[in-house]
Structure 1
C-alpha cells in the first residue's frame, strides 16, 4: 500500500458512474486503504458529464487528480474518454464502453458526433474497448453496464484480496444483487 493509485471514472448522467465509484471506494476502505473520492455531476440529470476521481493508498491527502496523473481512466461513453484523456498518465490504461451518447449540441444538429474516437484513444493509451451495454443486455438489464465496466476495472487494478461480490451485495438494492454480481463476473472475464 505504499504508492497512491488514481482512478478517473467518467460518463454521462444516468449511466451509473457514481454507483461504480461507490462500490470501488467501499471495497478499498474495507481493505484498509486510505481513500479519497470527489465527484462532479452538474447537469448529470439532463445527460451532462459525470466525473468521479478516486485516489487510494497508504495515505492520501487529496481526491483531486491533475492532468497526466490518472493510472486508469474508465469511461462509460466514448466521447467522454477522449475529452478527459489528458488526465491519464503516460503508460496509463483506458477502459471504455463503446457506447455513443450524443451531447446536447449534437442532438440540436449544431455539430456531428466525432468519428474515429476509439482509434484516437488507442493511439494515445493502452485502451480496452468493451461492449458493456451489449453484455448487460444479455444479462437482462442494460443499466448493469456500469458494473460490467467495474468488473473489468477490478481485474486491471489487481486487487484480488477484496471480496468485490460482497461489496456489491452490500451496495446495490437487494432486487438487483444477482444482476450486478453477474455483470461484475462478466466484466472480470473480458
Structure 2
C-alpha cells in the first residue's frame, strides 16, 4: 500500500460501528500499516448518528476524512448511507445494510422515512453493495452481528487477505462469540451482491 485509503463507518448508536472500526484498524495494524481512527459520537445513546473515520496507508497524518475523500462508506443503515454520501469519492463504494431504522422525527410523526433511498444513492453513480445484514446476522446467531456481516462484505473491497480478517475477529471479539462472528463474517464475505 503506497497511498492512504479512507473508510467512513456510519450508523446509529448501538449498532456496533465502534467494534467495526476496531476490527478494521486492528486488521490494518497487524499488517504493519499506519492507521488513524477517529470516532464522532452524536446522540449515539439515543439512536443518533455515529461516525467513525479510519484512514490507513504508509503514513497517515490525520484520521479526519473530508468530503469527497472516502474510498469506502460502510453504512449500517440506508438513511445514514444517503446522509454521508457526500464524503465518498466519485469512484468509491458504499457497503450498506438494507435495514431501515426510523430516526426520531419519523418516530414522532413529524417526518416520513424517505422512499427508495438506495435507488437515490445508486443514481449518484457510485458502486453500491447492499445486503440484508440484519437477516444474515440473525442467521449467524444474533442480530448484534450486523457489524461483522458488514465487515465481511467490505473485506472483499479492501486489500487484505481473508485470513487477516478472520484472525483479527478472533482477537477482537469475546471468546464466547467467536464462532457466531466468524459465521457472520463468512455470510457477509460470501454474499452475492
Give the TM-score of the pair, scaled to structure 2. 0.96
Tell me which residue corresponds to 1:168: 169
Query: How far apart are 1:175 and its partner, in Å?
Result: 1.1
Tell me which residue corresponds to 1:97: 97
Aligned CA RMSD, in angstroms, stands at 1.0
1:186–1:161 Cα change, 3 Å? closer
Q: Is structure 2 residue 106 aligned with structure 1 residue 106? A: yes
Gaps of 5+ in 2: none
Secondary structure, aligned partner of 2:123: helix
Tell me which residue corresponds to 2:15: 15
Tell me which residue corresponds to 1:158: 159
1:181–1:161 Cα change, 3 Å? closer
In 2, the alpha carbon distance for the partners of 1:88 and 1:162 equals 27
Deviations 1:101-148 (A, max 9, x none): 011111110000000101011111111110000011112111101100
Deviates more, 1:163-172 or 1:12-21: 163-172
User: Does the 8 Å CA contact 1:12/1:50 hold for their aligned counterparts?
Assistant: yes
Gaps of 5+ in 1: none
User: Does the 8 Å CA contact 2:77/2:101 hold for their aligned counterparts?
Assistant: yes
Tell me which residue corresponds to 1:118: 118
* Count of aligned pairs: 190
User: Does the 8 Å CA contact 1:27/1:162 hold for their aligned counterparts?
Assistant: no
Deviations 1:9-49 (A, max 9, x none): 10001110000110010010110100000011131111010
Query: How far apart are 1:98 and its partner, in Å?
Result: 0.2
- Structure-to-structure mapping, 1:6-45, within 5 angstroms: 6-45=6-45
